[in-house]
Chain A
Amino acid sequence: MNLTICYFGLLAERRGLAEEKINCSASHPAGVYAELDAHHRLGLAISAIRAAVNDEFVSLEHPLAENDTLAFLPPMSGG
């Protein structure tokens, strides 16, 4: 499935970019993260991450659709 992946904060720094288009076999955010972590050594545990699809929070098991924009969010630290 073709996806646009967005990274923020620490994850963007570790990946070395903020956005990329990928093709992957996983069908939910947890699976996609596992693939990306294996390739790029992102290094954060999946339990520390939240996911958003098309600008809305989703669970890590949310079923993805072709051309979704999937964002991985490290622990937030605003304020």
Chain B
Amino acid sequence: MSRSIHFSLVSQPIDIPSLAAGLADPGAGAVVTFDGRVRNHNAGEAVSHLEYQAYPALAVSTGQRILEEESARHRLLGVQAVHRTGPLAIGDVAVWVGVASAHRGPAFDAARAIMERLKYELPIWKKETYADGRSEWVGPDNQSPETGRVRDVIPEWPAELLEIWISDGNDFRGRHEQGRLEHPIRSITEIDCVAGMGLRGDRYFGYKPDFKGQVTFFDAAAVAAVRERFSMPELSGSVFRRNLIVRGIDLGAWVGKRFRFQGIDFEASEECKPCYWMDQVVAPGAEEFLKANFRGGLRARILSSGLLSTNRA
């Protein structure tokens, strides 16, 4: 596993040779490095120079966490990244990422994933000064079509979040005829949604790239319907092993669409089809009952990072 995982902020030019040397590893068949440089134009404007402001404590802890998560996900041998702060000139390296891996596939994938996450999760802000002397704080370019995150056309869900359930293990999936594992599922009031990864702490966090079920939504009306149909008024919302129990939204209408919920952007992928385990954990007939009327819930990818809360007014 990773021997060297390090993120830092620097106010001086990035020392690329010494960072690259830190990635040396006899088991590394691939080292990918990327430098993001200050370009002389942006959105049709001639840029003369720019300045980065950071929230240092939070930027360092966030950057370090991104590297640790991506390192584990891609099984890297080493990873280093640095972001500049303060004034920079055209051509300066603003951000540098280097990864070492046994093979080139994970090395390229990890370098790209880390860069994308650094751009929209690090609390760092860029102020551009243009050739004509004006200057402006820049909006995040992770909202560009290149990364598919065009925030302003995404409709907001008029829904309420009632319950959040996460589990650090997987009880059902791929467990055919092996019996159920007893991974505890727990209820929390706030959850950290990480773009492209999932719910921090959940069993599907970083499960695989572009995973369709980074998060699952379940309608409170379906919980109520199951309780009534099977005369189980006390049945917990946890038995369905879906993450987010919501009220006030027709989940079936959102397959394939993007939506915003509590300021976080999601893309619904497909119905979360119930499996025969539902007959065992609820009652015989539960699987069939959940198959109707989109009661199984909705799977989605997370497009932007943020916190969801059950206390939202």
Chain B, range 52-82, C-beta contacts under 8 Å to A: 52-55, 57-59, 61-62
A/B pair count, beta carbons within 8 Å: 98
Q: Complex Cα distance A34/B262, Å?
A: 16
Query: How big is chain A's contact interface, by range?
Result: 20 to 34
Whether B309 lies near A59 (C-beta < 8 A) is: yes
Whether B137 lies near A74 (C-beta < 8 A) is: yes
Interface flag for B284 (CB, 8 Å)? no
Interface flag for A38 (CB, 8 Å)? no
Whether B125 lies near A8 (C-beta < 8 A) is: yes
Interface flag for A10 (CB, 8 Å)? yes
Tell me the count of chain B residues lying within 8 A, CB to CB, of chain A: 42
Whether A79 lies near B36 (C-beta < 8 A) is: yes
Instruction: With CB as the reference atom, state the residue of chain A lying closest to B62.
Output: A57
Whether A76 lies near B124 (C-beta < 8 A) is: yes
Interface flags, A37-79, vs B, CB<8A=1, else 0: 0000000000110101001111111100000000101111111
**Nearest CB of B to A56, in Å:** 7
**Nearest CB of B to A63, in Å:** 8
Interface flag for A6 (CB, 8 Å)? yes
Whether A77 lies near B139 (C-beta < 8 A) is: yes
**Nearest CB of A to B211, in Å:** 23
- 10 residue pairs of the A-B complex, CB under 8 angstroms, read A8-B125, A12-B53, A13-B137, A52-B55, A59-B190, A60-B307, A74-B137, A77-B141, A78-B118, A79-B95
